[in-house]
Amino acid sequence: MAEPDEKSPLVKRRNSSEDEEELTGCGASAACDPRRALHRFLVLWLICFLSFGSYFCYDNPAALQSQIKKDMHVNTGTFMTLYSWYSWPNVILCFFGGFLLDRVFGIRLGTIIFSLFVLAGQCVFALGAQLNLFWLMEAGRFIFGIGGESLAVAQNTYAVTWFRGKELNMVFGLQLSFSRVGSTVNMNVMSPVYKWISGYVGEGYITLGYALWVGAGTCVLSLLCGLLLGYYDKRAARILKRDAGKTGEVIRITDVKDFPATFWLITVICVAYYVAVFPFIGLGLVFFEEKFDLNPTSANAVNSLVYIISAGASPVLGFLVDKTGKNVFWVILAILVTLACHMMLAFTFWNPYIAMSIMGVSYSLLACALWPIVAFIIPENQLGTAYGFMQSIQNLGLAVISIVAGSIVDQKGYLLLEVFFLAWLCLALIAGVVLYLVDAVRGGALNMSTWERDAQEEAEEKAKAAEQDERVRFKPRSAFALRNRFYSRIGAKLPDHFDIHTSSFFRRGVTQ
């Protein structure tokens, strides 16, 4: 540091490079230093595994469908309530989950609480099987649902905190593929596990219970990830002084109505796009068998193509979006491509492998590009609420549209169903185009390429620093200024080169 001269401030300005915490030991190595990329990627694993348990257990009933129906003596309709007890409450619950995350718990505590709910729900579910009480299993699914979706919201929020402005799109892609990995592992593992246990215990509800406790094991794993994440996040916040920039404002539930128009457009896209993909997959099997003359095995393969492809493609596409930016462009492109795929399925007899593969890629692209946009337009202290709200509306859309789609097929067939989905995609497209326009009017912040965004952020940082200088009421004065102030108080002559009038000009910057 240079010797202070006449014109340097007497009170030292806080300098970020000076009072940083000294890290020692492991903490100083790249793996544990939150400023380094390696540490971020280790945390990314924790973020991904955070939801592994909930995705694994979510599809436990599907993987053990025949066993549950046999052991618990229920028919398909009753069996399906295991899913409705999960999904219907989540139409509102994850909105409140997100809000609580922002307002009451904070992300670290919130994550742990939701993980506990997931774990508790799965335990009750397993207990219900072990005691041969189906209602207890349903209750377990309900508790599980309270935690599950809100945990996904927490996961999104964590991703934004750690990766905003860095590899956020890729992280969202990776989360998506991890959710697929979770349910795929479950589908392939649970049945053999049941078989293996039945070798010791014999078939029956007791075995079912034991098998479900394995699911609870994965929830414990996720809870551990939640605890570790909480620790590392706190540590990173301390070291990186994340809290320094915070205003201390808390979100109120009414703040939702003040979310910007762009947020609502994104929500519209989110609902309109997802309802054209998932309810379709739910009804796709018969469509592929009948229209394209596929046998049940290949029809099933085509139907699950979107899931499989999205598991592989989404991190790659997320990386692509990270490198290029222009999120809105990618979103519109994804919608257009999906529209083309649905048209292919509706109006041609071309091999459905083509359409479904392309749809898998475009779905991954949309998922990677759409969700991170929210982080650009919503302040960080409201992100949980925003994501929760989006997810709630999406859940509602999916639940309602699945029912509507089912009755359309029953009454009017698959062509009209496809037309119905095309209409939703058109709505998504309209919302996408309007989003682009609205954003363009406001300067195109959402559709910037990555280098433009970097440049802007740099400029903003500078402007912010300047503004902060402006805001500080008591500016540290230089020795020269203090002396002059004192001189003017006592009525002494000011130095010739300090003229009050010219200095006010300086202040306005007119003479420069």
Partner 1 sequence: MTCSNLKHHVKEKMAASRQARRLYTCLSRFSCALFVFASLAVGKESFSRQVSMHYNPGCNITECQSSPSNDNDTHNNLVHILARGSRDSIHYVWSTIGAPTVLMVHTTSKESELKVDWEKLLTTNGDNSGAITFEPSNEVDFSMAVMFNKIWEYEDLHDKSELPEDDTEMFEPYDLSQMRWGDFNLTMNTTGLTGNFTGATTQSDMESLFQNGSISFRIHAFKTDDRSADLPHLQYTSNQTQFDFTIDSVEPRGNMSRYAMELMLLTEDKHLDLKKMKSIDDEYTPGVFELFELTMTHSDQTDSYVQWKPVCYTKSTRSMAVATPTKTYKLKDLDTTSIPADTIARAYFTNLDRLQRKALNVSFGLTGDGSYVASNFTSWTASVGYGEPPSERLSLLIIIVISTGLGIPVVIIMFGGLFICCRQKDGDKGKKEIMDEYPTVNGGETDAIN
Residues near partner 1 (CB under 8 A) are 7, 9, 286-287, 289-291, 295-296, 346-349, 409-416, 419, 422-423, 426, 429-430, 433-434, 436-437, 440-441, 466, 469, 475, 477-478, 480-481, 503, 506-509, 512
Residue 204 φ/ψ region, left for φ over 0, alpha for ψ in the -120 to 50 degree band, beta for the rest: left
Least Å distance, CB 239 to partner 1, is: 29
Least Å distance, CB 371 to partner 1, is: 23
Q: Which is nearer to partner 1, 178 or 288 (CB)?
A: 288
Q: Where are the beta strands (DSSP E) in 131-201?
A: none
CA-nearest of 118, 112, 125 to 93 is: 118
Q: Which is nearer to partner 1, 220 or 433 (CB)?
A: 433
Distance CA 375, CA 380 (A): 7
Least Å distance, CB 317 to partner 1, is: 23
Q: Which is nearer to partner 1, 231 or 349 (CB)?
A: 349
Distance CA 385, CA 253 (A): 9
CA-nearest of 104, 373, 400, 378 to 275 is: 400
Where do runs of H (alpha helix) occur along 325-382?
A: 327-347, 352-377
Q: What are phi and psi of 478, to 5 degrees?
A: -85, 165
Least Å distance, CB 343 to partner 1, is: 9
* Buried/exposed 487-497: b ≥16 CB within 10 Å, e otherwise: eeeeeeeeeee
Least Å distance, CB 345 to partner 1, is: 9
Least Å distance, CB 427 to partner 1, is: 8
Q: Which is nearer to partner 1, 33 or 289 (CB)?
A: 289
Distance CA 134, CA 68 (A): 10
- Asked if 116 and 147 touch (Cβ cutoff 8 Å), the reply is yes
Q: Which is nearer to partner 1, 190 or 335 (CB)?
A: 335
Distance CA 79, CA 97 (A): 27
Q: Which is nearer to partner 1, 240 or 437 (CB)?
A: 437
Q: Which is nearer to partner 1, 16 or 411 (CB)?
A: 411
Least Å distance, CB 390 to partner 1, is: 23
Distance CA 272, CA 398 (A): 9
